[in-house]
Amino acid sequence: MSWQVRTFEQAGDWQPVRDLWDRTGPGIQLSPSDEPAEIEKKLTRDPDLFLVAVADGRIIGAVLGGFDGRRGMVYHLAVDPAERRRGVGKGLMEEMERRLRAKGCLKYYLLVTLENQQAMDFYQRLGWEPMKLRVMGKRIE
130 within 8 A of 114, measured Cβ to Cβ: no
Closest alpha carbon to 86 in 60, 62, 110: 60
Task: Tell me whether residue 135 is in a domain.
Answer: no
pLDDT by residue, tens only, the chain of 141 residues:
699 999 999 889 999 999 999 988 777 888 888 899 999 999 999 999 999 999 999 999 999 999 999 999 999 999 999 999 999 999 999 999 999 999 999 999 999 888 889 999 999 999 999 999 888 888 887
Task: Tell me whether residue 61 is in a domain.
Answer: yes
| Backbone phi, psi, residue 27, to 5° | -65, -25
Whichever domain contains 25, its CATH number is: 3.40.630.30
Work out how many domains the chain is built from and give that number: 1
Instruction: Indicate the length of the chain as a whole number.
Output: 141
Instruction: Say which amino acid occupies 80.
Output: D
